[in-house]
Structure 1
Amino acid sequence: MSTAPTLRVERSMLRDGVTHLGAVDEVGRGALCGPVSIGIVVISAATRTAPQGVRDSKLLTPEAREALAPKVRRWAVDSAVGHALASEIDEVGIMAAMRLAGQRALGALDVRPDALLLDGNHNYLTPPVQEGLFGEVSAMVDEVEVPPVTTMIKADMKCAAVAAASILAKTSRDALMVALHEEYPDYAWADNKGYSAPAHIAALERLGPSAYHRRSWSLPGTSPVLALES
């Protein structure tokens, strides 16, 4: 059993001059198809302890995630999930697409955080100074100013608000993949959610990529050239 995450880090940041803290996590970065999704949960100094059972979404059963998601939304000051589509990932690359999804999540918030706690060691949310692919993202969304970002490795395991954000991102993305399964049932997305699973790979070998696959990637069972041209 893993140690339950706490709000220790978040409360420390809130005592250090932050009024509303946004906890951020991503889901779907390593999938073969479908969107990459960014969840944000906003808390304040008045926010109580996270709902019982909150963990990194990867450690929870689908049933536990679905039961916790509405509790997380009621518990948080505000929350949102943003998505970047597979076609957008192909257009600008996965890191820029994660920034795009983050921009959409920030833009959907009613309560804007004045600081962000981001799972991982790379700040993909803050626009880089140089132009390039990230400049293309600016043309794809009404940009929202990104507050100061603190990155933390394994924040989704240690920080309850980040774990809560992971639950919202995961349940939102899973629902999208289940809906897409109705259109392309052969890939078994209702079960594998677009990740590399035997039934998914077998369908790729048999049918090639769908409109929702990340065609710029080296998809199992296909060649990059075929994936781009099909």
Structure 2
Amino acid sequence: MPTLDVEIDLARRFGPWVAGCDEVGRGALAGPVSVGMVLLRATDAAVLDGVRDSKLVSASARAALAPVIQDWAAGWGVGHATAAEIDEFGILPATGMAGRRALIDAQDRAGASADSVLLDGNFDWLTPRDQGSLFEALEPSGESPVPPVVTRIKADLSCVSVAAASILAKVERDELLSSYHDAEPHFGWVDNKGYGTAAHRAAIAAHGPSEKHRRSWRLT
């Protein structure tokens, strides 16, 4: 059961405002990489029943939980980096771009700045590397510096803010991929959500990649 134990510890170490963060779509062949961000005043928050890592929750349950999470969080955001951005800059820089976009939205909704970010995994892809000119050109105008980032393996299983962020990102990205279907039904977007199923790869081989595909990737 995810708890707020880690978030409360971070609030005591860095300050009260803690953002939980998770990404979806990093391994897909098409569509954006998407990052969810949930901002809480951790010591004042309560654990939200039913929230789990998005991979452990059915699609219908995720859709029902998303508005509940949005009401529960002090602030929330979902940021995207497009297939074209992934092709141009690489998957990790693009994931960071999406995450910083999500953080801006979450802070704007909360009217507060995160004191720390809790990130699922063991690598901090959120903080820009020493590529100042690249990120200065891409980050939104007026973006605040990224606060301290703390990584935690399987945080989506143990930390409710990260699990909640994963659900928001999954729901929004799935809806976006499904919206592609009417224009390009041959790719089966509703079923594969951009991931490399056998049917999806066969469709790419038959029709060629679309602008939604990550053309720098091995697609077939």
Note whether the superposition's TM-score is higher than 0.5. yes
Give 1:25's match in structure 2, choosing from 4, 22, 26: 22
Aligned match of 2:82: 85
Contact 1:103 1:144 in 2 (8 A): no
Contact 2:32 2:83 in 1 (8 A): yes
Q: Which amino acid aligns with 1:112?
A: S
Number of aligned positions between the proteins = 213
Q: 1: CA distance between counterparts of 2:85 and 2:219?
A: 17
Aligned match of 1:186: 186
Aligned match of 2:218: 218
Give the % identical residues: 50
Shift of 1:106: 1.6
Q: 2: CA distance between counterparts of 1:157 and 1:212?
A: 31
Q: Which amino acid aligns with 2:75?
A: D
Shift of 1:11: 1.5
Structure scoring higher RCO (CA < 8 A, sep ≥ 6) equals 2
Q: 2: CA distance between counterparts of 1:155 and 1:88?
A: 27
Which consecutive unaligned segments of at least 5 residues does structure 2 have? none
Give 2:46's match in structure 1, choosing from 29, 48, 53: 48
Shift of 1:198: 2.4
Aligned match of 1:136: 134
Q: 1: CA distance between counterparts of 2:135 and 2:203?
A: 32
Superposition TM-score, scaled by structure 2 size = 0.93
SS in 2 for 1:98: helix
- 1:15 counterpart = 2:12: yes
Aligned match of 1:103: 100
Shift of 1:141: 2.3
Superposition TM-score, scaled by structure 1 size = 0.89
Runs of 4+ in 1 over 6 A off after TM superposition: none
Contact 1:106 1:144 in 2 (8 A): no
Give the stretch that moved more between structures: 162-171 or 4-13.
4-13
Aligned match of 1:112: 113
Contact 2:40 2:75 in 1 (8 A): yes
Which consecutive unaligned segments of at least 5 residues does structure 1 have? 221-230
Q: Which amino acid aligns with 1:172?
A: E
Aligned match of 1:226: none
Shift of 1:211: 0.7
Give 1:58-73 correspondences, 5 Å limit: 58-73=55-70
CA deviation profile, 1:7-37 (whole Å, cap 9, x unmatched): 1111221233421000000000000000000
Q: 1: CA distance between counterparts of 2:205 and 2:182?
A: 20
Contact 1:92 1:137 in 2 (8 A): no
Q: 2: CA distance between counterparts of 1:9 and 1:108?
A: 23
- 1:207 counterpart = 2:204: no
